Amino acid sequence: MDRKEYQRLYRLKNKEKAKEYAREYHLKNKEKVKEYHKSEKRMEKYKEWYESPKGHKSRTLSRWRTWGVIGDLDAIYDIYLATNECMRCSVPIEGLNKHMDHDHDTGLYRAVLCNSCNCGNIWDKPPHGDNKSTGIRYISKRKNRYGYRFQKTTKKITHSKSFLTLEEAIDYKDEYLNRMSRPPSS
């Protein structure tokens, strides 16, 4: 057993004693501790780790945990790395255009998407709540006229249609969203 492993096991067995020792050390050596935290050598080591694949994976998994993603994050990360095109629209993706889509209610992973598909995701709740006039997402009561309007913007293309009754608008909305969620037929 090497020294680091021994120290780790000792700290696990004697947590309170180790905390007290660390507290005393920091009080006695304030200047030395400050100098260490500001040292360029430490910052270089941190930057090296930060840019390494291990550091990238650690930051990514930590971010996903704060979002509330559940499941086998290591397996999801492997899928995320291996994916080179959007799982919905098949556009090549990399870097900041690559997003891991998940269900915000359950926390379960869904797909790896491009920015456009992820932002216009029809399964997620709207960021500002339901439409105020009807209480139904994407359907609004038309102003100065009778009737209802279904309006949805996907990939900066607005689709809009008007209906006389709310039931017709709801049926059309359901049909439209089902059509959009199906993969394109080849």
Q: Output the pLDDT for position 123.
A: 56
Going through 15-166 in order, the beta strands assigned E by DSSP cover: 98-102, 109-114, 139-141, 148-154, 157-163
Residues 71 and 115 in one domain: yes
In a domain, 83, yes or no: yes
**Residues spanned by the domain of 28:** 3-38
Q: Select the more confidently predicted residue: 172 or 130.
A: 172
The domain total for the chain is: 3
In a domain, 50, yes or no: no
pTM given for the model: 0.48
- Got the DSSP string for 103-126? -TTT--EEEEEEHHHHHT-TTSPP
The runs of H, that is alpha helices, within 83-165 are: 115-119
In a domain, 21, yes or no: yes
Q: What is the mean pLDDT of the chain?
A: 80
CA–CA dist 27, 31 (Å, integer)? 9
Q: Select the more confidently predicted residue: 139 or 73.
A: 73
Residues above pLDDT 90, as percent of the chain: 11
> Would the pLDDT of 127 be above 50?
no
What the block records as the tokens of 1 is 């057993």
* Closest listed residue to residue 60, CA positions, set 77, 82, 85: 77
Which backbone phi and psi does 100 adopt, to 5 degrees? -90, 115
- Write the pLDDT tens digit of every residue in 33-89: 888 877 888 888 888 888 899 998 998 898 888 888 888 889 999 999 999 988 888
